[in-house]
Structure 1
Amino acid sequence: MVQDGRLWVAVGWASGQGPRADNQDFAGAWLGSETERARHGMVAALADGVSGGRQGRAAAELAVRTLIEGYYAQPDTIGVAAAVERVMAPYNRWLAAMGRGETMAHTATTFTGLVMRGRKAHVLHVGDSRAWHLRGDTLRQITSDHTHSHPDRRHILLRALGLEDQLRLDHHELALAEHDRLLLTSDGVHGLLNPRRLSALLGVRHSAQADAEAIVEAALAAGGQDNATALVIDVVSLPAVSHDAIAGGLAALPILPPPHEGESVDGFALEALLSDGRYTRLFRARDTAGGQAVVVKFPKPSLLSESGARAAFAREMLVGSRVASPFVGAAYPVAAERQTRLYGVQPYYEGQTLEVRLAHPVSLREGMRIAIALTRGVAALHRLGIIHRDIKPENVILGEDGSVRLIDLGVARLPRVEDFAHDEIPGTPSFMAPEMFGGHAGDEATDQFALGVCLWRLFAQSWPYGEVEAFSRPRFRRPDAPGKARPDLPAWAEAVLMRCVAIEPGERFGDVVDLLRALEGGAAVERRPTRPLPLIERYPVRFWQAVSLVLLIALVASLVLK
């Protein structure tokens, strides 16, 4: 059974000889022991022996075996690229020397090695075998072929293992996510199947082995005249991302003035300005590398200290990668070699903020659905010891599909992570609990208070303690019941709202799970069908008047008939 917080993958491979006399491709993978995975990661590789050489198959197999056997003997402190280079460089020199002799004359091989370590994949490559990365429905080619640029000479390799004494490996690094698929192919596959066809075959998402076999069968069925090999890797689970790792990666990035609509940053085309807040500027953007719509957030260095900006973005990435909840916004990691400045990338959710929705009245039914979903999102954070600290309608996205997501986690308080400087601890005054105005850094009770203010606005379209201007302190006294502004609000819901925004923390719910139970329990009662009341309960006076009249008529009738 796969355990959470550890690197684990599923691997499948297939190779077809085709019409060739022999198969000069070779692929392999080594998942390693638990200790090896923790220190060095997992290794896979594919090599395609050059057909003009005498021992192409031998060269390909030795290349893969050399990487797998030699990599784990290297110290884990020198980095993946340096370790692979240290292993493969001597093999390359040996193969080049053997290629000048009679026994292995002109022998060379392409080589694509893949090392998965931590939450990253490293691709080391030379030749025209390829590595691919599938995330969602988007397939991206990672490697570039080292072949002649002229269309008629693209079969001629310019670089490969054994072609020259000095090894020149391309190194690509990419951040992994669970459910990613990685694919290594020889030219007998990608020479026949274009990226769209490969994406469709990988998108079937059967087992890694079944899909590797399907890719090879499709290449041979398309009339391939070469060996065809495919190696498929499914990312099943990844180690939990650490704050130090994220903060360390962001530390070297410069903080620049935020860009403007229409500009492009690191391949993210900024299409529309979504928000221009006090500390950040948000854009809807198009990731030109994958084509998907995203949100890109940039800090404003003039209003937030450098340490505060880095802390905020590190928190957002950390929470977005750790919290797996449909009610909490996610975050996308950006490859280190791609990102040139400080910013964060998140999925783009079609819809509107709760703040925009509150411009029009919300029915009790719709409001209760939003309230329950939002409370579930807060509960998902609190379960991991994460305090949001800026819950407000502007930070809630109502999706066109009916989804509800809590976003903007850059100011969250995380366990075992250093907090902001005291004068930079954020929050929106109208949603801040009384204790936060006295210097409290925020906890589950203050999040519950902010959530309660959101629910108050959702149902009563008003503020329990009034709308508070920035840098001012409100006067906290028992608020008027929300039912005054919303007469159709059930008594139980009114009691829930009053308790959420209680001035004293001890008078609020024990935690948001208790609040969630109260909301779900009350909503269930409201939805429960009720039997029609009997006439005696609806109109008791008229009922007994009617009974008396019937008895009187019966009495008179009996006297007359006598």
Structure 2
Amino acid sequence: MSVSGQPVLRAAVVTLQGRREDNQDFAAIAEPSPRDAAARGFVAAVADGIGGARGGRVAAEVSVRSFMEAYYGLSETLGMQQLLDRCLGSANRWVHAMGRLDPELAHMGTTFSGLIFRGRRAYLVHVGDSRIYRLRGDEPELLTSDHTLSGPGLDHVLYRAVGLDPGLRIDYSVYPLEPHDRFLLCSDGLHGSLQQEQIREILQERATPETTAEALARLAFEQGSQDNITALVVDVIALPPAEKQSLRLAIESLPLLDLPEVGDEVDGFRLERLLSSGRYSALFLAADTLGQDKPVVVKFPHPRVASEREYYDAFVREAWIGARVKSPWVGEILEQTPGRQSRLYSVMPFYPGASLEHELARRPRIGLEAGIDLALKLCKAVHALHRQQIVHRDIKPDNVLLDPEGGLKLLDLGIARLPAWDEDQADPIPGTPSYMAPEMFQGERGSIATDVFALGVTLYRTFAGGAYPYGEVEPFSTPRFGSPRPLTAHRPDLPAWLDAVLARAIAADPAQRPADAVELAYELEAGLEKGGGRRPPRRPLPLYERNPLQFWKAVAALLLALLAMAGLRLSLSCRPPSEAASRNNPLIHDNGDSR
């Protein structure tokens, strides 16, 4: 199922008569026209009839078919809860009336469990003891409650069902969708015969919906189910992007209030610890009491610094980006259930670890290979944004979270630039001055080239132990960009090719920088592969370069010794030969008498 503006789904249903004489279950997945699907999304429903063979089947089928027909036919001006109440209410009135008028349909009724997949949400409507499970990650969650009596032998007795009474009270809830969510709608012939662990194991196999539904139904039959068995499986393949206007309307309806305190509970989020409090916002570690105390981070804006419009724009940006960018390297924004949020804030998963800025202050200097590994992950995060035409505009070590297991998250998208959106040119250009490219001080509002510059400064500081290539820039000042200080001035142990690559990334002229984060990543990888991770060993410096005075002293001493030796040889050669030497030397003749 794929329609513009709606989630992409894959679904399948399997229903077995089982050991009954007939099948009173009925399940369906709506097949609306493209126009209806684009406007209303998709419907999946399961019903389990009661009250006799013919009556139970009629009640189940009529309820599902009439619900779907009414859903796509009623006015779009109705709110979703009111619309669903009317859809199932009309089926309830017909089933109840026919159960009183037609003897063959006496006392008929049915359970009903349905999901409407619309936009980025799933709307649940339920009555009876059929069930809906959601598998997100590895654990299935039961989303419905059985409307049966409690007590020995009474767990099959319904006190709420379609057709039991003239009026019908339904359970209604809304769930934000995520890619890869898996839903199971089933009758009690299935869940009454299988343990939760068995359902979990089959859903976790992530086989196709057809295979999964068949496996669940067959296992329930093999384990002795005495009822009809129905399994309807829906997989969420992809979600449509969130719309700016709807986000803005939803966010601007939320008041901007004073900061809460540790220990407060806000909309079910119990604030346990203050993580940070900056100029613009405060971050709290919180427990989501409505989500099994799952740890999250809640970001509240400071109401005293910026205008309200700027705050709302920042939260709209984060929500819009969070709906579009799904990357293991970019921090996620958690969408909240409609009606839960009573004030302005945003919610993120809790990521363990510390910021890169924090690590630079306490770690020894990072090695070449570890630094390149970090750089490549950060390049992937930046590319994930650029691929969606999003410019971060505030890449810096404070906004890079390092996971203890080696992961990385790029955070804080509140001042990101979205070129498709109108931007007030009178607004100040946001960013942290020390990471802003020279052209941003001349009016450039942010581009891929400026993000590459900020990325280069961040990586330079990572290798340089926190030092800035152009020096730290004070707020409200206009820096001069001359020649950056070479990286090797801080780290002579690092290779020259790394200095050259980062020098390109932080070039004052944007035309000299890598075209994007992908090109920068390629240059870093190529340098590590071809240039190697070590400098070639240096030759020892000669004494002349190390200590010229000592060198000349040694030369003088050597010359003196040579002169002394030369003088000694000269004096020996000038002496007359001795008598003994004359007698023994046949070349010397005696001038005396020779007889």
TM-score w.r.t. length of structure 2: 0.82
**How far apart, in 2, do the equivalents of 1:223 and 1:255 lie?**
58
Contact 2:5/2:38, CA 8 A, preserved across alignment: no
> Does 1:199 pair with 2:200?
yes
Secondary structure at 1:515 match in 2 = helix
Match 2:322 to one of 320, 323, 342: 320
1:509-549 Cα distance to aligned partner (Å, 9 max, x none): 3333332332222122134999x99xxx999xxxxxxxxxx
Read off the aligned partner of 1:11 and give its amino acid letter: A
Q: What residue in structure 1 maps to residue 376 of structure 2?
A: 372
Partner of 2:283: 282
Aligned CA distance change for structure 1 residues 398 and 3 (closer, same or farther; 3 Å): farther
Give 1:545's aligned residue.
none
Cα deviation, residue 218, structure 1: 3.6
Determine whether 1:298 maps to 2:300: yes
CA apart distance, 1:152: 5.8
Instruction: Tell me the equivalent position of 2:47.
Output: 47
Specify the alignment match of 1:362 in structure 2: 366
CA distance, structure 2, for counterparts of residue 336 and residue 219 of structure 1: 36
CA distance, structure 2, for counterparts of residue 111 and residue 514 of structure 1: 55
Q: Distance in 2 between matches of 1:196 and 1:4?
A: 37
Check the 8 A contact 1:54/1:104 in 2, yes or no: yes
Q: Which moved more, 1:343-352 or 1:479-488?
A: 343-352
Shift of 1:390: 0.7
2:349 maps to a residue whose letter is P
SS across alignment from 1:451 = helix
Find the counterpart in structure 1 of residue 146 from structure 2.
Answer: 145
Question: Hey, what's the Cα distance between the residues in 2 that align with 1:181 and 1:159?
Answer: 27
Worse-superposed segment, 335-344 or 283-292: 283-292
Q: 1:504 corresponds to which residue?
A: 509
Q: In 1, distance between residues paired with 2:215 and 2:258? A: 49
Contact preservation (8 Å) 1:243, 1:314? yes
| Amino acid paired to 1:267 | G
Asked whether 1:208 is paired with 2:213, we answer: no
What's 1:553 paired with? none
Distance 1:529 1:501, change over 3 A: closer
Q: Confirm or deny: 8 A CA contact 2:6 2:120 kept in the other structure.
A: no
Q: CA deviation at 1:4?
A: 8.7
Contact 1:267–1:288, Cα closer than 8 Å, also in 2: yes
Matched, 1:399 2:400: no
Aligned residues of 2:127 and 2:171 also touching (Cα < 8 A): yes
One-letter amino acid of the counterpart of residue 60, structure 1 = A
Residue number in structure 2 paired with 1:234: 235
Change (3 A) 1:468 1:152: farther
Change (3 A) 1:301 1:403: same
Match of 1:494 among 488, 492, 499: 499
The CA deviation at 1:11 is: 1.1
Structure 1 segment 70-469 matched on structure 2, within 5 A: 70-101=70-101, 102-148=103-149, 153-291=154-292, 292-359=294-361, 360=363, 361-419=365-423, 422-423=426-427, 425-461=429-465, 462-469=467-474
C-alpha distance 27-144 of structure 1, shift in aligned 2 (>3 A): same
Tell me how far 1:249 sits from its aligned partner: 2.2
Tell me which residue corresponds to 1:559. Answer: none
2:232 partner SS: strand
Q: Is the contact made by 1:432 and 1:450 (CA closer than 8 Å) also made in structure 2?
A: yes
Q: Does the residue aligned with 2:109 lie in a helix, a strand or coil?
A: coil
107 and 239 in structure 1: CA distance in 2 versus 1, 3 angstrom threshold: same
Contact 1:5/1:237 (8 A) holds in 2: no
SS at match of 1:89: helix
Do 2:174 and 2:337's aligned partners in 1 also have CA atoms closer than 8 Å?
yes
Superposition CA RMSD, Å: 3.0
Within-5 A mapping of 1:516-535? 516-527=521-532
Moved more, 171-180 or 19-28: 19-28
- Summarize the Cα distance change of 1:64–1:313 in structure 2 as closer, same or farther, 3 Å threshold: same
Aligned to 2:57: 57
CA apart distance, 1:174 = 1.5
Shift of 1:196: 4.5
- Structure 1, 61-70 or 16-25: larger mean CA deviation: 16-25
Q: Is the 8 A contact 1:308 1:424 kept in 2?
A: no
| Cα separation, partners in 2 of 1:209 and 1:75, compared to 1, 3 Å | same
**How many residues matched?**
535
Aligned twin of 1:481: 486
The structural deviation recorded for 1:135 is: 1.3
* Paired position in structure 2 for 1:20: 20
Q: Give the Cα separation in 2 of the matches to 1:246 and 1:212.
A: 36
Q: Aligned partners of 2:92 and 2:198: how far apart in 1?
A: 34
Equivalent-residue separation in structure 2 for 1:538 and 1:491 (angstroms): 17
| Structure 1 residue runs without a partner (length 5+) | 540-562
Instruction: Give 1:435 deviation, angstroms.
Output: 3.2
* 8 Å Cα contact 1:119-1:241 kept in structure 2: yes
Q: How big is the shift at 1:456?
A: 1.2
**1:558 corresponds to which residue?**
none
Once the two structures are TM-superposed, the CA of residue 309 in structure 1 deviates from its matched residue by 2.0
Letter paired with 2:383: A
Q: Contact 2:52–2:105 (CA<8 Å) still a contact in 1?
A: no
| Residue-by-residue CA offset, 1:28-54 (whole Å, 9 max, x unaligned) | 112434333212211111111124686
The one-letter code matched in structure 1 to 2:58 is A
**Residue 444 of structure 1, CA deviation:** 1.8
What letter corresponds to residue 458 of structure 1 in structure 2?
Answer: T
- Residue type of the partner of 2:381? G
Distance 1:420 1:197, change over 3 A: farther
Identity, % of aligned positions: 47
Amino acid at match of 1:306: E
Deviation at 1:113, TM superposition (A): 1.9
Change (3 A) 1:507 1:33: same
- Could you tell me whether the CA contact under 8 Å between 2:202 and 2:216 is conserved in 1? yes
- The answer to whether the Cα contact below 8 Å between 2:317 and 2:415 also exists between their aligned partners in 1 is yes
SS of match in other structure, 1:301: coil
CA distance in 1, matches of 2:539, 2:487: 29
Shift of 1:230: 1.9
SS in 2 for 1:103: helix
Quick one: which amino acid aligns to residue 93 of structure 1?
Answer: R
* Mapped contact 2:182–2:236 kept (Cα < 8 A): yes
Distance in 2, Cα, partners of 1:323 & 1:28: 33
- Conserved 8 A contact 1:267-1:287: yes
Answer with 1 or 2: which has the greater Rg: 2
Q: CA deviation at 1:203?
A: 1.4
Summarize the Cα distance change of 1:273–1:145 in structure 2 as closer, same or farther, 3 Å threshold: same
- Give the counterpart letter for 1:436 in structure 2: M
- Is contact 1:111-1:126 (8 Å) kept? yes
Q: Distance in 1 between matches of 2:208 and 2:298?
A: 34
Partner amino acid, structure 1, of 2:368: L
**Residues 364-385 of structure 1, C-alpha deviations (whole Å, 9 max, x = no match):** 1111111122122212212221
Residue 13 of structure 2 contacts residue 232 of structure 2 at CA under 8 Å; is this kept in 1?
yes
Q: How far apart are the structure 1 equivalents of 2:478 and 2:435?
A: 12
CA drift of 1:439 comes to 4.4
